Amino acid sequence: MIFICNNGGVSSPAFPLPTTLVLSLRDVAVDLDGHAALRGVDAHAHAGRLLAVVGSNGSGKSTLLSVAAGLIAPHRGTVSLRPKTRIALVPQSTPLAAHLPLSVTDVVAMGSWARLGAWRRARTSDRAAVADAIASVELTDLARRPIGALSGGQRQRALLAQALVQRADLVLLDEPMAGLDARSRTIITTAITRLTQNGAAVIVVTHDVSELGSIDVILELHDGLATVRT
């Protein structure tokens, strides 16, 4: 890891600096219609770090992301978020109607709404950031295509570009590479690396940790119970 100094130079610290905690789940339990989806889970996400969440089908991975995103309130435990944290969530499956009158560029540009407001005119720099994010997921040729006309893998890449534009502090990705070909997986892995290098805390649910780049921590879920591997 490199750090930019005030004088514009670049140096490596002589000792590991404490990273910034973005999200903390402590003793979190979630009950869904009588099913204990999470049971006493502790999880922590740090700025610039990648946390992988693994576990078999039904073990509670998506539920954990929903709690992190604030979509599900736990019935026990605490969820602490660093103040002013912007969150981007790319869900496991996104039901985007084929007839939605939104292009890839429109959808990626929506990522800047949280910062700019929906009705403020985008500046040249905002449009450049959108084009840059689209290029980074190799969708420039499809930028004008309706989002509903993309393949599943292309759509996942577009949603990741939206997260890049959002400059979110916490990025939650639920199986972003499931069912994708090697090229799309590589593009997504590169985008995830870029997100962490930009300082985001990233949590990725995956069934295959080998397809992610360097992972800082792995959280394994078994029937709603968590174990940490480093």
Ligand X SMILES: Nc1ncnc2c1ncn2[C@@H]1O[C@H](COP(=O)(O)OP(=O)(O)OP(=O)(O)O)[C@@H](O)[C@H]1O
What is the rounded end-to-end Cα distance, in angstroms, of the chain?
Answer: 18
- Of 41 and 87, which has the nearer Cβ to ligand X? 41
Decide: is 59 part of the binding site for ligand X (CB under 6 A): yes
Give the range of 57-65, 127-135, 194-202, 208-216 binding ligand X by CB under 6 A.
Answer: 57-65
From Mg ion, ligand X, none, which one binds at residue 57 (CB under 5 to 8 Å depending on kind)?
ligand X
For 50-110, give the DSSP string.
EEEEEESTTSSHHHHHHHHTTSS--SEEEEEE-TT--EEEE-SS----TT---BHHHHHHG
Rule CB under 6 A: choose which of 19, 20, 24, 32 binds ligand X: 32
Beta bridge partners of 81: 23
CB of 57 to Mg ion, least distance (A): 7
Beta bridge partners of 103: 146
Tokens for 100, please give them.
């939605």
Distance CA 85, CA 200 (A): 10
Q: Specify whether the CB–CB gap between 21 and 169 falls below 8 A.
A: no
Give the range of 4-12, 53-61, 83-91, 114-122 binding ligand X by CB under 6 A.
Answer: 53-61
- Of 169 and 174, which has the nearer Cβ to ligand X? 174
CB of 58 to ligand X, least distance (A): 3
Give the range of 32-40, 98-106, 110-118, 151-159 binding ligand X by CB under 6 A.
Answer: 32-40
Distance CA 170, CA 67 (A): 13
- Of 64 and 142, which has the nearer Cβ to ligand X? 64
Binding site for ligand X (CB under 6 A): 32-33, 35, 37, 55, 57-63, 92
